[in-house]
Each structure stands twice: as structure tokens, then as C-alpha cells.
Amino acid sequence: MFAYIVRRLLYAIPILVGVNLLTFALFFVVNTPDDMARMQLGAKRVTPEAIEKWKAERGYDLPLVWNSNEKFFLDKATKTIFVQKSAKLFLFDFGYSEDKRDIAGEITTRMWPSLALQVPVFFIGLAVCITFALLMAVFRASYLDVWGVVLCVAMMAISMLFYIIGGQYLFSKVLHLVPISGYQGGGDAFKFLILPVAIGVIAGIGGASRLYRTLFLEEMAKDFVRTARAKGLSERVVLFRHVLRNALIPILTGVVVAIPFLFLGSLLQESFFGIPGLGSYTIEAIQAQDFAVLRAMVFIGAVLYILALIATDISYTVADPRVRLQ
Amino acid sequence: MRALLLMLLLPLAAGCGEVWNDPYPAAERGKNILYSVFTERPKHLDPAQSYATDESQFTMQVYEPPLQYHYLKRPYQLVPNTALEVPQPKMVEKDGATYSVYEIRIQPGIRFQPHPAFVEKNLDLRKEQVDALGTPYQLPLGTRELTADDYIYQIKRLAHPRLQVPIFGLMSEYIVGLKEYAAALKKADKPGEWLDLRQHPLAGVERVDAHGYRVTLKGRYPQFAYWLAMHFFSPMPWEADKFFQQPGMAQKNFTIDWWPVGTGPYMLSENDPNSRMVLERNPNYRGVPYPSEGDPEDGKNGLLADAGKTMPFIDKAVYSREREAIPLWNKFLQGYYDTSGIGSDNFDQAVRISADGDAGLTPEMEKRGVRMETSVEPTVFYLGANWLDPVIGGAAGGESAERARKLRQALAIAIDWEEYLSVFANGRGVPSHSPLAPGIFGYREGKDSINPVTHEWKDGKAVRRPIEAARKRLAEAGYPDGRDARTGQPLVLYLDTVDRGPGGKAVIDWWRKQFARLSIQFEPRQTDWNRFQEKLRKGNTQLFMVGWRADYPDPENFMFLLNGPQARARGGGENASNYSNPEYDALFARMRHMPNSPGRQEIIDRMVDIFRRDAPWIGGFHRKSIGLIQGWLSNVKPNEMADNKLRYYRLDAARREAARRAWNRPIVWPLVLLVLAIVLATIPAFRSYRRRERMAATREQGAQPTPLRPPHPPGASA
């Protein structure tokens, strides 16, 4: 397994280079360093000298990918915006945003509120969805199953925005049970997180429960479950030891890959609930044409995604001893 | 069963006491704290770099420039802040050139806020010490007296090679030696080292004594006094500059740009631009009296009740970041914000427009004790015509220019700005009749205020001329019924706009309707902000919409938007329409440095006449701000020039607390009902499950034969 992990990590290097290249190309197709400077400096009293100064200070006065002004080949290739800005990312040195804030510090600060919101949503949501799906599967064709599926389809049809606005309206504006938005660290975070967590869980029930129900029903129809029942095992044992365990692999495929999003946050929920997480960091960077933040966030997203995919593969070996990573 | 009932009733009982949806810590309840919002994270809090209004709400409570605007008097008046008096320029002739010399005397005994920069040992910190800090205020704090050197240091910072100073270009044209000073500093600057500006003298700024300094400007520039009321000219202690240049500080976001250091009534004690910013009373603040004079109606409105009392009145101000309008508005309604603007979505809930077009509060708002304050902002938003365009511009001269002038006038009559404001801004604006916003010297009131080309005065009101007048003017321009009389080709006009998406479509449709009234074909050229700005710079537009917010309340700061030498396409200036009229430019050159006087008014009137005749802007509007203020907050008067308003506000915390309790009683029973419904709905399923379990258990004990058939037939589909 160790060799497999090392190989996968080595594969990650060209992937990350490619991601960087793509981010760079997409960004600079739309924006020029002059545009970035103007965006940062505002619309009033911006002189050409101020723009040149801004660019020189941040290294955007270099050519994008090839510096023909340099004498040596190495300098021609490296004294460019692409190399100067991207190379340090591989050492996890994200540098400063275009408005001179430390990006690593900003990410570290904003990561915790995102995690505080997304981790409970992830685990509670997983537990709720599996429980609900198991219930529907166990009581298949009963009123619980039929109305459960109807409820799931209805919940899938409703947009996240509606859950948020509806939840805020009902629980905060009408019933006055929780703050409508805001955030405080420590124990005080509970009252701010209870509504967004509940909404995050509820919004995810529809799709996930339907998928899990299908997976469970497929397992329940297999011979080993019949054999387990024929042995006289209790329903509880059949469900949790045989059905759930065997349905875990497809569930893990979807679940572990979602782990990066726990760090990267949720844009909508964080915006509406005033949670100072990472969800809006990338969007704000795009709006402000802040390439430094954008490339850092894309890089982190890519790294986390690669790690999550490796973790998914490893989790298969835990869930199913027959799986071997080579 | 009894236990279950008790569990259900407990939350109901709890609901009778405290509020549950209070977003603030319980320890803050009943305290003298103002709660407000910010929507965009501030980019700069450095007084040399900041240039945005939403940043000034923080910087101007901390920094104190030598002058300020009188809080209550209108038109806006400059009064001393830390200065002893408003300085009058002394004109000096030297080597055939004229110089204005401003000598500013500051009050003795003013002290800086507590700050670690004033403790000597904090200026030599190791990186590990810096790394261990959560905020700079964890270090020992000190203070010292404000001196003239601090003001001089800040003026020097305007030329600092590592700072982006938006007014450097402008100031280097006036402050003697500032341009050369910037070049010298650039040469002296070494990466990673603190650049001690005290070692580099600036020719145009001179220390008189500990409490006096002199600024020498090239020529006349009376508007300089207004700049002395802005944060660019606030004091900056050299110690703060050195303190924040120490190794490791920038990595912790400990910079002057992030942690302001001032002498003002408040100090920034918490800086989390993603969540909240907190200003706390500066314990070293000297305290200044509330104004005892104001406009005639101020006394009647209770704005002089605190006359002479020592300010500030509020201990702390908490600004929370709200990115979305819905939570912001609802928290205002719940009493958790003391002030609020009004978004389009909430406008009808808060404001009703009378038959006369006057805005008033809805009964719901009045019942809550909310007050409304309106004011016209010193802004102008206009539909500009590019002077360089052959169809709509006037640069070509001769007959072509005359045709274009009449075309612009026809459009100025036809485009219904009153409707635009009603549809897209809920009436929050007044149509413009000249570049000058109401309240600025030179602006005429009443009948004299209207543009006679586009409006007429009827029954004491400005009424837009009928569309027939526009059609007639269009025919005179050589485009009868929207077709070129010579070629018979339809007239096509292009509008460059950044309006896109669903909201933008409505605006574009409105524009199309306006042009259709003259049978002119309208083509929108939708683009992004970058390309739009590029087109303006290159003069590649035909029609476009832009705006301007004045830096100071002087007609020069509006009329220069049409000054020929300021043309955007020629020199990157603020004249976006590239308008050029030698007569206008000559009048502007005379008017710009005059004191407000009948003579200046006369020149402005002539310039406005030229503007109306040439119509380089095809109408526009001045934005109107509407603010809602909770009943417990007093001493609030709109002041569009002053940003240091927090010190004047007073609030009744006990009244707010009572209102919050009354407006936010928790209602628990629907939640209990919901839980009960879920429990009841699952009971049959649970019982069925238990029955199956029992069956299996019985089978395991051998009381029943093992069934051959499983509970569910295999192969059943999902």
C-alpha cells in the first residue's frame, strides 16, 4: 500500500503543475496586470505612474511566460510572472494577497469557522441520511417508504437558497429561536451554527437518502442477506453487520471525496449566515481580480482533492478486506 | 409520561425570559455600545492609502486631521479639529512664482491612543516575540503627546515608495518638492529595512515648533484646506511606522494598513474584516464639546440637546459584516442594528411615497419608533456622450458639431430620468440639471435650478418637456423620425455598459424604450468593468454611464469633470466625456481658485449655461441616501462630507434592551409540535420493527419453526 500511496503522490505533481498552468492561463486571458492594478487602486485619481508602481511592487511588471529581455535561457524562462508566482506554491508559501495580506494566515483564520460549520453538517448529515435510507429500505413499500421517497424528491427539488431564506425567516424572524446571522468563536458558536447546520443537513437529505436507499435495497436483495436471515439473525444484526457494511464502498466513494469541501466552506451558507469562513474567499478574490489568493485557493483545492481521492482508495481496504492496493 | 410533559414544557417556560436570537455576547447587554454593519471588507486603513467611504467609517474615528466639517451647519463649513484655527493661506512671491503658505497650529496636550509603538523596547522585538502575538495590543502600551512632527511625517508618507497613495499625483503638483522627494525616497529605500522619513527633509513642509508646521504650495490652491480635513493629512507617529516594519509583523497582518494609530475618540481594538470590527473609546482622548450651534431647525429636532457636553457619548462601536441584505434588514427589525440603509427589496416595507413624491415611513416603522434621515449625496451620475465620437460628439466642429449638439439635446429631453429613478432607485435621487449637486456652492435653487433645454417650470415644479420637443430638436439635427435626412439610413446609437445579467437586462430594456421614443435604434455594448474602463481611456465609446463622488464641497470638484485638459482619452483625467470647450475651460481656470463670492457664482452660472447648451452629459441624477435610525439613537444628522460622526451619537441602551426583549420573544410551541409530529409518524414503523425483532428473537429461542421465506421477498426492486 505504501508504494501505491507514494506513486499516487508522485502523480500529483504533474497534476498540480497542470492545474497551476490552467489557472494562470484562464486568469490572464480575462485580466491583464493593468486591469488588476486598476481594480485594486479604484476608479478615482488613478495615474499611469501609480499603475506601474503597483505592478512593479508585486512583480507584475514581468512578462507572463517568457522574458525575452533576459540574456540567459534560464532567466528567460524563470523571470516571468508564471514561474515567480507559481514556484513557491509547491513549498506551500502562498505569499501575500494583492492588498498585502498574508494568505496563509488568512486561510488558517478562515478555515476554522468553515470547519465548525461543515464538519457537523458532514457527520450529522451522513448519520441522518443513512438512518433515513435504512428506514425506507427496511420498510420498503410501506407508507414510510412511499412518503419518504416523495419527501426526498421534494427536498431535492428545492434550492439551497430557499432552505436558507426559509430557515432564517421561520426560526429567527418568526420564532426568534436563533440569531439570523453572525458568528462567535468557542462555545458561543453553537447558537450561530445550529440553524446553518440543520439547514445543511436537511438540504442534503433528499439526494443522499435516495441514493443510499437504492444501495441498501440492492444489498438486501442479495443471497448473503437471505442466508443471514435464514440463520435467524435479528434484523438489527442483518442491517448493520451485513447490509450497511457491504453498501459502504459506494457510499465511501461519494463521502470521502467531499472532505475537501469541509475546509473550503460553503459560499451560500457563509454569506447568508455571516460565518467568516473560506467559502467566499475564492469568490471575493475573483471579484477583486486577486490572482495571488485565487491561485493559492485553487492549489489548495487541488491538493485536498488529490489527498481525498487517495484517502478514498485507502478507505476501500478498510471497508472491504478483499480490496488490495497495489 | 409526566417526564415527557415536563421536557416539552421546559422550553416553553424558558421562552418567557431571555431573548434567544441575540447575536451578541450576553456580557454586552445593556451596555453603551453602538451596533452597525459593513458589507465590504476594508482594503486599507492606512490614512495615506485609504480612499473609500466604507473605510472612512473606521479611519476617521481613529485619525484626526487638523480640520473637520461642522457637524450640523449647512452649507458645509470647515472648523478646527486638532488645529487651533482654520489656516488662511499667505501668498508669497519668490523668483517670479507665487506660493501659498499654510501655517497650521495644533492644540497642545493632545495624546495618542495607548499603543505598543510608544514603548521603546517594543521597537526592537525578535521575530519569535512577534510570532507569539495575537494582536499588537498584547504588548505593553504607551502614549505620548501629539506634535507637529507627526503631521509632517504623514505628509512625507504621501511620497513613500512602498505605499499606493491615490492623491500623490495631485499633491505632487502643489506641495513644493513632493515629486522630487518621492524620487529621493525611492533611491534611499532598501528592501526589508525601515525607511526613516525623518532623515529626509521635504522642501515644502517645514516644522515651526512642537505645535506648528508650515506647508508651502505652488500657486493658489484654496481647496487645500478641504484636504486638511481628510485622513491623508492625519498625524502619523514615526514610532508606529518603525514598530510595524519589524520582522514578522507583516506575516501576522500587523501593519499600519491594518492597525490604525491615532488621537481620535476611538481606537480599533478588534480587526476581523471577515466578521467584525470593533472601535473602543480611546482612554487618552481629550474630550471635545458637542456643537452648540447648528441650522435653525436643529434645535427643534433635538440636535442641540447635548450642546456643550463632552464627547464621545458612546463607549464602543461594533461593526458586523453582513454580505446579504436579508439578514441585515431582519436584524435591524429585531433591534440588533442601530442604523440601516434600505435595499430595494425592503423599500416598500420601510418607506411609502406620498402623492407629491415625498418619502415617509410606513406605519410599521413609525410604530417601532424608527426615524428616517434623507440627504442628497455630493454625487453625480450621468450619461456621457464621447466628445470624440463623429455622430454624438462635438470635436469635429462646424456643421457636424451643430448637428451632434442638437442630437444630444433631443436625447436629453427624451430620456426620462425621473422614470429611471422611480423604476430603478425607488426614487432615491434627484435628476441633475447641471454638474453641481444640491448643497454645493453655485447650485441654484427653484426656477433657476432647472435646465431650460430639458425642463420647464410649471406650478412651482420642474416638468420635463414633452417628447414632441425632443422630436423637433432631432429633426433639426437632421434625423427626422430617427433617420438621417441625407442618406435615409436609420440612426443607430451605441451605449457601452457594464449592466449584465437579469438586473442589467431590465436597465437595457429601459434604455431601448427611451431611444425608441425618438425612433432611434439602440445598440447596447455590454462589457466587463475592465474593458469598459479601457474604452473610456481610449475614447472608444459613444454613450456611457459613469458617476462621481466629490472629495470636498467645492464647485471646482464637480466642474473639473468637464475641463478640457482633464480629458480622459488625452491625459487620463476625470473628464470621461472628453468634453472640450475653450470658453468653458477659460471660465473654469478663473473660477477654480476663487473664494465663494457673487463673482464666483456668476462665473459658475455662465459655465452651467454652456454645459446646458452643449449637453456633453445627456442628463443624469444626484443620488439620495435614505437612512433608518432606531428611536434610541439620537444626535444623528446626515453629513455627507464628515465621516467622524460616531463621536456625536448618543444612545439609550436601556430603551434598546426593552425593545429587543419585546420584539424577540422566543416562540417554542411550533417546534414542540414538529417534534411530536415526527415522533408520532414514526411510532407505527417503530412498533412494526419491534414486532419483527421479537419474531426473530422467538425464532432464535426455537418456539417457532424457522420460516423459509425472508421478511422481504428477494429481488424486490427499489
What DSSP assignment string belongs to A15-36?
HHHHHHHHHHHHHHHH--HHHH
First CA to last CA distance, chain A: 6
Joined together, the cell numbers standing for residue B363 give: 406605519
Question: Which stretch of A315-319, B381-385, B445-449 has the lowest confidence by average pLDDT?
Answer: A315-319
Name residue B276's beta-bridge partners.
Answer: B272, B320
The per-residue DSSP string of A283-306 comes to: HHHHHTT-HHHHHHHHHHHHHHHH
Average of pLDDT values for B703-711? 44
Same-domain pairing of A293 and A201: yes
Q: What is the CA radius of gyration of chain A?
A: 25
Residue B482, phi-psi category: left (phi > 0), alpha (psi -120 to 50), beta (remainder): left
Q: Does B43 touch chain A (CB under 8 A)?
A: yes
Does pLDDT of B44 surpass 80? Answer: yes
SS3 B427: coil
Same-domain pairing of A10 and A115: no
SS3 A256: helix
Within-domain flag for A108: yes
Q: Beta B97-105 vs B33-38: how paired, if at all?
A: unpaired
CB-based contact A271 B685, cutoff 8 Å: no
**Residues B331-349: b if buried by 16+ CB within 10 A, e if exposed:** bbbbbbbbbbbbeeebbee
Give the residue from B318, B289, B276 showing the smallest Cα distance to B653.
Answer: B318
Residue B428, phi-psi category: left (phi > 0), alpha (psi -120 to 50), beta (remainder): beta
Does pLDDT of B10 surpass 60? Answer: no
Q: Does A298 touch chain B (CB under 8 A)?
A: no
CB-based contact A223 B699, cutoff 8 Å: no
Q: Does A48 touch chain B (CB under 8 A)?
A: yes
Q: Does A174 touch chain B (CB under 8 A)?
A: yes
> Which of A38, A97, A143, A229 is most worth mutating to test chain B (most B CB atoms within 10 A of its CB)?
A229
Q: Is residue B458 very low, low, confident or very high in pLDDT (cuts 50, 70, 90)?
A: very high
Residue B331: what residue type?
K
Quote the CA–CA distance of B398 and A178 in Å, as a whole number. 70
Q: Does B673 touch chain A (CB under 8 A)?
A: no
Cβ-based contacts of B700 with chain A (< 8 Å):
232, 234
Cβ-based contacts of A110 with chain B (< 8 Å):
274
Give the residue from A32, A24, A54, A62 showing the smallest Cα distance to B533.
Answer: A32
Same-domain pairing of A197 and A252: yes
CB B336 within 8 A of CB B24: yes
Give the residue from B495, B59, B511, B538 showing the smallest Cα distance to B263.
Answer: B59
Within-domain flag for A296: yes
Q: Which segments of B339-440 does DSSP mark as H helices, in order?
A: 347-350, 363-367, 398-414, 417-424
Quote the CA–CA distance of B142 and B146 in Å, as a whole number. 13
Q: Does B686 touch chain A (CB under 8 A)?
A: no
Average of pLDDT values for A173-177? 95
Q: Beta B97-105 vs B90-94: how paired, if at all?
A: antiparallel
Question: Looking at the domain covering B379-626, what would its CATH class be?
Answer: alpha beta
CB B112 within 8 A of CB B153: no
Contacts of B542 (CB under 8 A, 6+ apart): B385, B386, B389, B391, B392, B493, B494, B495, B496
Q: Given this model, what pLDDT does residue B696 score?
A: 60
Q: Which domain-ending residue is among A56, A91, A126?
A: A91
Cβ-based contacts of A54 with chain B (< 8 Å):
164
- Alpha carbons within 13 A on the beta-carbon side of B164: 30
For residue B486, the tally of other CB atoms under 10 A from its CB is 8
| Nearest residue of chain A to residue B661 (CA atoms) | A176
Contacts of A104 (CB under 8 A, 6+ apart): A92, A93, A94
Q: Does B135 touch chain A (CB under 8 A)?
A: no
Average of pLDDT values for B49-59? 92
Point out the residue among A39, A47, A144 whose CB comes nearest to the CB of B169. A47
Quote the CA–CA distance of B8 and B487 in Å, as a whole number. 84
B595-640 pLDDT, tens digit each:
899 999 999 999 999 999 999 999 999 999 999 999 999 999 999 9
Quote the CA–CA distance of A72 and A289 in Å, as a whole number. 32
Within-domain flag for A273: yes
Q: Does B533 touch chain A (CB under 8 A)?
A: yes
Q: Does A214 touch chain B (CB under 8 A)?
A: yes
Does pLDDT of B8 surpass 60? Answer: no
Residue with cell 473660477: B591
Q: Does A173 touch chain B (CB under 8 A)?
A: yes
Distance from CA of B379 to the nearest CA of A (A): 13
Does pLDDT of B53 surpass 90? Answer: no
Quote the CA–CA distance of B332 and B339 in Å, as a whole number. 7
Q: Does A59 touch chain B (CB under 8 A)?
A: no
Within-domain flag for A326: no
Name residue B206's beta-bridge partners.
Answer: B214
Q: Which domain-ending residue is among A91, A114, A139?
A: A91
Residue with cell 451632434: B404
Q: Given this model, what pLDDT does residue B697 score?
A: 57
Q: Is residue B502 very low, low, confident or very high in pLDDT (cuts 50, 70, 90)?
A: confident
Q: Does B570 touch chain A (CB under 8 A)?
A: no
Cβ-based contacts of B35 with chain A (< 8 Å):
none
B118-164 pLDDT, tens digit each:
999 999 999 999 999 989 999 999 999 999 999 999 999 999 999 99
Q: Given this model, what pLDDT does residue B221 score?
A: 94
Q: Domain tally for chain A? A: 2
CATH of residue A301: 1.10.3720.10
Domain ranges of chain B: 379-626
CB B383 within 8 A of CB B619: yes
Same-domain pairing of A300 and A273: yes
Q: Given this model, what pLDDT does residue B684 score?
A: 80
CA angle at B615 for the pair B611 and B619, rounded to the nearest 5° = 105
Quote the CA–CA distance of A114 and B532 in Å, as a whole number. 36
Cβ-based contacts of B706 with chain A (< 8 Å):
230, 232
B284-296 pLDDT, tens digit each:
999 999 999 999 9
Q: Which helix (H) or strand (E) holds B518?
A: none
Quote the CA–CA distance of B46 and B163 in Å, as a whole number. 9
Burial (CB count within 10 angstroms: exposed 0-12, middle 13-18, buried 19+), residue B673 = exposed
Within-domain flag for A324: no
**Separation in Å, CA B244 to CA A146, B240, B612, B679:** 65, 6, 52, 60
CA dihedral B637, B639, B643, B646 (to 10 degrees): -10
CB-based contact B671 A177, cutoff 8 Å: yes
CB-based contact A99 B51, cutoff 8 Å: no
| Nearest residue of chain A to residue B694 (CA atoms) | A234
- Tell me the backbone φ, ψ of residue A183, rounded to 5 degrees: -160, 140
Average of pLDDT values for B559-571? 93
Burial (CB count within 10 angstroms: exposed 0-12, middle 13-18, buried 19+), residue B510 = middle
Cβ-based contacts of A269 with chain B (< 8 Å):
none
Same-domain pairing of A148 and A289: yes
Contacts of A262 (CB under 8 A, 6+ apart): A114, A115, A118, A119, A122
Q: Is residue B698 very low, low, confident or very high in pLDDT (cuts 50, 70, 90)?
A: low
Quote the CA–CA distance of A290 and A280 in Å, as a whole number. 13
pLDDT-above-90 percentage for chain B: 80
Residue A289, phi-psi category: left (phi > 0), alpha (psi -120 to 50), beta (remainder): left
Does pLDDT of B209 surpass 90? Answer: yes
CA angle at B648 for the pair B647 and B654, rounded to the nearest 5° = 95
> Which of B18, B530, B570, B664 is most worth mutating to test chain A (most A CB atoms within 10 A of its CB)?
B530
For residue B559, the tally of other CB atoms under 10 A from its CB is 24
Q: Beta B33-38 vs B316-321: how paired, if at all?
A: parallel
Q: Does A193 touch chain B (CB under 8 A)?
A: no
Q: Beta B212-218 vs B288-289: how paired, if at all?
A: unpaired
Q: Given this model, what pLDDT does residue B13 score?
A: 45
CB A46 within 8 A of CB A31: no
Question: Which stretch of A206-220, B222-236, B376-390, B669-683 has the lowest confidence by average pLDDT?
Answer: B669-683
Distance from CA of B11 to the nearest CA of A (A): 11
Cβ-based contacts of B529 with chain A (< 8 Å):
39
* Maximum alpha-carbon separation in chain B: 121
| Nearest residue of chain B to residue A58 (CA atoms) | B162
Does pLDDT of A60 surpass 50? Answer: yes
* Residue A247 domain boundaries: 104-319
Question: Which stretch of B267-276, B282-291, B647-656 has the lowest confidence by average pLDDT?
Answer: B267-276
Q: Does B134 touch chain A (CB under 8 A)?
A: no
Q: Does A229 touch chain B (CB under 8 A)?
A: yes
A314-323 pLDDT, tens digit each:
888 888 888 7
Q: Beta B492-497 vs B543-549: how paired, if at all?
A: parallel
Same-domain pairing of A169 and A312: yes
CB-based contact A272 B275, cutoff 8 Å: no
CB-based contact B166 A45, cutoff 8 Å: yes
Within-domain flag for A171: yes
B651-671 pLDDT, tens digit each:
999 999 999 999 999 999 999
| Nearest residue of chain B to residue A104 (CA atoms) | B251
Cβ-based contacts of A175 with chain B (< 8 Å):
666-668, 670-671
Same-domain pairing of A64 and A108: no
Q: Given this model, what pLDDT does residue B672 score?
A: 93
Q: Does B52 touch chain A (CB under 8 A)?
A: yes
Cβ-based contacts of B325 with chain A (< 8 Å):
none
Q: Does A7 touch chain B (CB under 8 A)?
A: no
Distance from CA of B548 to the nearest CA of A (A): 8
Point out the residue among A32, A173, A221 whose CB comes nearest to the CB of B716. A221
Joined together, the cell numbers standing for residue A148 give: 419518504
Same-domain pairing of A161 and A243: yes
Cβ-based contacts of A226 with chain B (< 8 Å):
710, 714
Q: Which domain-ending residue is among A62, A91, A120?
A: A91
CB A256 within 8 A of CB A312: yes
For residue B539, the tally of other CB atoms under 10 A from its CB is 19
